[in-house]
Structure 1
């Protein structure tokens, strides 16, 4: 076998081609790690947004979209009395009537951004126990409370959504009263406001949903309630099941990220094949001389694979460094919330595995093509 130092010396002997291989493989590895992180982040935030201990009462036929659902304003009180075994807070059933609305909010001047607004009462904190008010207070009429990541969704600065600042919605100015978080959920990118204000500003006369927190009750109890009160035209589903459906709805978006990354990787592989073929063909005389002094073709093949893999692993290392230093923790907004990119150990392992694969796949065909001819043919070709 040829020493490993032979492969490294040949790698740095042509710095231009070496840099080209490192940058190309690094870009491919970074894109694949980004695709993996994006998929995991989006799926994780959607799955974590729903609690299996909560049940959502929606308008019949609106199971796919909470924003299109219509529920009578009297349903929260009727559900509190009609579903036995709900969790209680301060002796009262944990039931929250809510309005969900996706609309334009003016942040500064005439610039408007798409926002997710949720009209709530203080009882929303009884059912959404992951929500914590970090600063300020729960919104009163004329006020709005912003999620910790709402500024990413609204494409503005966190300072612009600080307490005391104002936003405009449907030509009405709302004062920011507080900031809340709900770690790992889509709620962190929402704006919460008084339910009466949102009903008035959107000219609605119905709620979007009613969220109930199960105590001793089960989903079947809520489902039985909806079947007994057919006049209310309701369906019951676990909050976790609703967000799991949303995760499946966004699956094509996640797959598109993978498809784009794979297509770019395929293009890079073909480019690498051309680069390595040109590099190896220029060394045919060298290969013939090494075979003449006793090194076999498989020893030469192993050395060429080492040379290529070393370059692609350096690219993978560069990609991992960029990911950890500049992209890890980056918040990415999407249509119903925001999530963070996390370059976790298994994603980094995927990147280095791809680096090894690129080195082998990119070098094997041109290396074998140059080493396949017999020694005499190789020397004549040189």
Structure 2
């Protein structure tokens, strides 16, 4: 004999409060698993996506591969292009964290500014200007995530708005996107005016785009020969790979948080399933007595919790879609977008269902082993 499928469905409506709470716990688990996965994948994708196999960085040896601490000779990009065949483009740049004045200087936030020359747009080909134009002296362009990184409104960074940078008012004349990179949380402005405002006579780094591996070896030879420049050549794959490794502890904390959530949900599900069996022990034993086998009764119980887990999982995915899609996370002077993709959705939904089913296993084992006579005698 086989228990009808609607028996499991009717049981869900008999204890509505417990059903609702169990479904909501599954929804919470699904939403939090999606959020954790989206955070980790967004963090990894932003830094790894910024790497380009044909691009290298020239930093000062003493900088320990930190572009903000690095200082290179002004005009180094022109020297590199003239001295090394196969360098397609080279960009002198200043990278600096500084205070950004918003609302006419009434409010200040910490932001990341990059001083660039026209060559930068040849090297960083992931950047696309989507609004306005390229900046001139006293002007800036802002990445898509700058407003969220600064904790400002989009209107404060819109084209035509003004910000205060190094004590001088700058007009925002353009907006750009660079999907999957750290550039979207940056403000770009012409190099020479920024150098004057920052009272610097050097640059931070040179980004160079190379034609092939032969050009890379030539550039390495150039750095080895020009000891007076004290240069450290790093490929962009290596540089951004080190940044990803730097954030490994944060990713581990996110995974630990997800694991704690899963364990709490598993224990809660097991407790709920045990209470459900105890409340209905005589009813379930009666089903056994009238001819339904252990497997059929246990399967019906598993079906109930599978339905609850699936319903809660769908609710959790809807909540994640509403509140996480398009969201960004601020991280120091950068920001990255949460990546709610198919992978995150699968993790959230499968996690909610899996934990619901796993939680009912101890109660199902007890139910299968319990003698019918002893179960009928229980109060």
| 1:201 equivalent in alignment to 2:197 | yes
Aligned equivalents of 1:107, 1:262: Cα separation in 2:
40
The whole-number CA distance in structure 1 between the counterparts of 2:142 and 2:342 is 33
Q: Number of paired residues?
A: 376
Look up the match of 1:215: 211
**Secondary structure of 2:102 counterpart:** strand
Q: Which residue of 2 aligns with 1:43?
A: 44
Give the drift of 1:182.
2.0
Aligned-residue offset at 1:63: 4.4
Q: 2:250 aligned with 1:253, yes or no?
A: yes
- Of residues 186, 194, 202, the one that matches 1:190 is 186
**Displacement of 1:150 after TM fit?**
1.2
Matches within 5 A, 1:231-310: 231-310=228-307
Of 315, 327, 331 in structure 1, the residue corresponding to residue 312 of structure 2 is 315
Moved more, 160-169 or 115-124: 160-169
Query: How far apart are the structure 2 equivalents of 1:5 and 1:304?
Result: 12
| 1:166 maps to 2:162 | yes
Deviation string, structure 1 residues 149-180 (Cα, Å, up to 9, x no partner): 21111111222112221111233222222222
Provide the C-alpha distance between the structure 1 equivalents of 2:277 and 2:36, rounded to a whole number of angstroms.
33
Is contact 1:186-1:336 (8 Å) kept? no
Give the corresponding residue for 1:149: 145
C-alpha distance in 2, partners of 1:307/1:64?
56
Rounded to whole Å, the distance in 2 between the matches of 1:331 and 1:319 is: 19
- For 1:105, which of 73, 76, 100 is the aligned residue? 100
2:157 & 2:301 partners in 1: Cα distance? Answer: 57
- CA offset at residue 371 of structure 1? 4.1
Superposition deviation, residue 84 in structure 1: 1.3
In the TM superposition, residue 206 of structure 1 has moved relative to its aligned partner by: 2.0
Residue 329 of structure 1 aligns with which residue? 326
SS in 2 for 1:27: helix
Deviations 1:203-223 (A, max 9, x none): 333211011111244322221
Correspondences of 1:338-377 after superposition (within 5 Å): 338-377=335-374
Question: Which residue in the other structure is 2:77 paired with?
Answer: 76
Q: Deviations over 1:261-299 (max 9, x none)?
A: 221221122122222222210111101211111122232
- Partner Cα separation in structure 2 for residue 185 and residue 348 of structure 1: 22
> 2: distance between equivalents of 1:353 and 1:168?
48
Q: 1:370 offset after TM fit, Å?
A: 4.0
Distance (Å, rounded) in 2 between the aligned partners of 1:356 and 1:159: 42
Contact 1:85 1:214 in 2 (8 A): yes
Unaligned runs of 5+ in 2: none
Whether 1:128 and 2:129 are equivalent positions in the alignment is no
Task: Extract unaligned runs of 5+ from structure 1.
Answer: 88-93
Displacement of 1:337 in angstroms is 3.2
SS of the equivalent of 2:130 reads strand
Equivalent in 84, 95, 101 of residue 90 of structure 2? 95
Who is 2:34 aligned against?
Answer: 33
Compute the TM-score of the two structures, normalised by the length of structure 2.
0.94
Q: Is the 8 A contact 1:118 1:192 kept in 2?
A: yes
Aligned equivalents of 1:71, 1:9: Cα separation in 2: 73
Compare 17-26 and 135-144 and name the one that shifted more: 135-144
Classify the secondary structure of the residue corresponding to 1:180: strand
SS at match of 1:184: coil
Query: Per the alignment, in what secondary structure is the counterpart of residue 202 of structure 2?
Result: coil
User: Equivalents in 1 of 2:156, 2:241: separation in Å?
Assistant: 33
Query: How far 1:98 moved relative to its partner?
Result: 0.3
- 1:60 is matched with 61
Structure 1 Cα separation of the partners of residues 53 and 23 of structure 2: 47
Task: Determine helix, strand or coil for the equivalent of 1:138.
Answer: coil
Q: CA RMSD in A?
A: 1.8
- Is the contact made by 1:98 and 1:119 (CA closer than 8 Å) also made in structure 2? yes
Question: Relative to structure 1, is the Cα distance of residues 195 and 300 closer, same or farther in structure 2, using a 3 angstrom cutoff?
Answer: same
- The equivalent of 1:119 in structure 2 is 115
Q: Distance in 1 between matches of 2:130 and 2:30?
A: 38
